[in-house]
Amino acid sequence: MRVLYPEEENQIMSEISKINNRRIARNTVFLYVRMILILLVTLYTSRVVLAVLGVEDYGIYNVVGGVVAMFAFLSNSMATATQRFLTFELGRGDAERLRKVFSAAVHIHLAIAVAVVLLAETAGLWLLEEKLVISPERMNAARWVYQFSVAAFFVNVIQVPYNAVIIAHEKMSVYAYVSVAEVVAKLVLVFGLTVVPFDKLVAYGAFMLSLQVTVRVFYQIWCSRRYEECKIAPVGDRSLYREMSVFASWNIFGSLAWVMKDQGLNVVLNLFFGTAVNAARGVAAQVSTSVYGFVSNFQLAMNPQITKNYAQGEIREMENLVFRGLKFSFLLLFFIALPLLLNVDAVLSVWLKDVPDHTSAFIVLIIADTLTGTLFGSPLMTSIAATGRIKSYQMVVSGIILMVIPASYLLLKAGFQPESVFCAAILFTLLSGVARFLFARSQIGFSLRRYLKEVILRVLGLLVLSLPLPLALRYLVFEEDSVLSFFMLCAVSVLCVAASAWAVLLDSGERSGVRKICWSRVERIFKRKEV
């Protein structure tokens, strides 16, 4: 075997990096097209659902579904473990180990699904019947919705291994097509609510369950036909079950923390303010989820490469990818968030017929929390998970996140407004993020100096340059909402963010890459015209 000179090795690694970047870009495009379509349909669907169900029933659906979602931390923990192990084995090229990992994941997820159903039918029912504030005349409908939510959750759990396979193989096109079809089907089902002869809240729960079953069946059939490892067989390796279960058990803290931060706050708000505030929080969460979808799709396309880099020992390339991912995650979210935040009242008035109180303030604070989280987000979490050493990390970081629940309860008990819980969430998101990076620095060797220089300082520069003009227009020129103010604020915000990103967020290599991409697109256009 010929020994490669350093120059040759560097050239080869550069080509591999370019191929990986192109794959990430292609997958991101698929996911972004998916997200744009989903965003448009979802926003309209939320409007229809709120109009058909009313504020009270919409609030009931959110808080009851939240009770079930609190048990999702078990599934989320195993989902992360499954994606990590599948992607790691793909990076190593071990086909036999890959088959065992998938089969073990299916068996473990089935056990988790049964355990969650038992928890939901005991502790969950007690919480629904004894603690949640729901009017007596709507309690029977709430019980039906709860049972449908439990069944839908069971289906989602056993679907996780198949989703993980698609993500690990980076086949985002299929994931995108199915997701678009799913959200369009939801819209059709919601329109069906207007003609059903029985309770619309109960019908909505039944419709959502039927859709989940359909999607689950499709994923299983498609993956089983395409990927050899998706043929379930006896594993015969207890150590693998133990390895995956231990990883997942420590991941439980992380998943529980995030679920409690979202759904636990939902329950706390209900205890003090009732279902009307839950409706406002539900609308705000819908907006935040839709906006963050643009970022999560980018991260979803990037995460497999981070894990594969670690499996192959390419730590420097992994660090570059993580820092670039954090930086661009913030940029992508800020592009969407800034115009929305400047026009939040106008958007809500057009979008919803009946806007619940506190909704606009909740949206601003939840998006601020999300922006803070992107600076320490998914790329960092994926890099730490790739090591497999997550015990200490989850104990510390998850412990910090969980503190938001008692802190929020004490704030509301002291008489503060509901907005205070989201202010507390921002603080604990920041603290947990700092802890997360310190673990990445300790376990992988990420450079704090590079992180501060390449991510934090560049993001601060972006904020300093891009915010003054849009804020001045909002509060000094366009004091009242109008069609003109909406489009002017959106246009100015996008231009300011784009110009500022080019000036301070992108480094010289990234600017060069953008110029090459733009020039290649221009050349293609002219070639088509010549033909």
* Residue 89 and residue 169 in contact, taking contact as beta carbons nearer than 8 Å: no
Q: pLDDT band at 11, cuts 50/70/90?
A: very low
pLDDT at 323 over 90: yes
> pLDDT tens-digit profile of 52-70?
777 777 777 777 766 666 6
- Cβ neighbours of residue 351 closer than 8 Å, sequence gap 6 or more: 43, 46, 47
Q: pLDDT band at 138, cuts 50/70/90?
A: confident
Report the 10 Å Cβ neighbour count for 118.
12
Token pair for 475: 């509060």
Q: Which amino acid is at 109?
A: H
Q: Which amino acid is at 231?
A: K
Q: Where are the beta strands (DSSP E) in 383-505?
A: none
Rounded mean pLDDT of the chain?
80
Token pair for 114: 């049964």
Report the 10 Å Cβ neighbour count for 39.
18
> pLDDT tens-digit profile of 12-40?
344 444 545 555 555 556 666 666 666 66
DSSP state of 92: H
| Arithmetic mean of pLDDT, 350-366 | 84
Q: Closest Cα to residue 400, out of 374, 371, 438?
A: 438
* Residue 78 and residue 160 in contact, taking contact as beta carbons nearer than 8 Å: yes
Residues 314-340 as b or e (16 or more Cβ within 10 Å = b): beebbbbbbbbbbbbbbbbbbbbbbbb
Q: Give the least confident one: 47-56, 181-190, 353-362, 436-445.
A: 47-56
* Residue 121 and residue 72 in contact, taking contact as beta carbons nearer than 8 Å: no
Position with higher pLDDT, 196 vs 392: 392
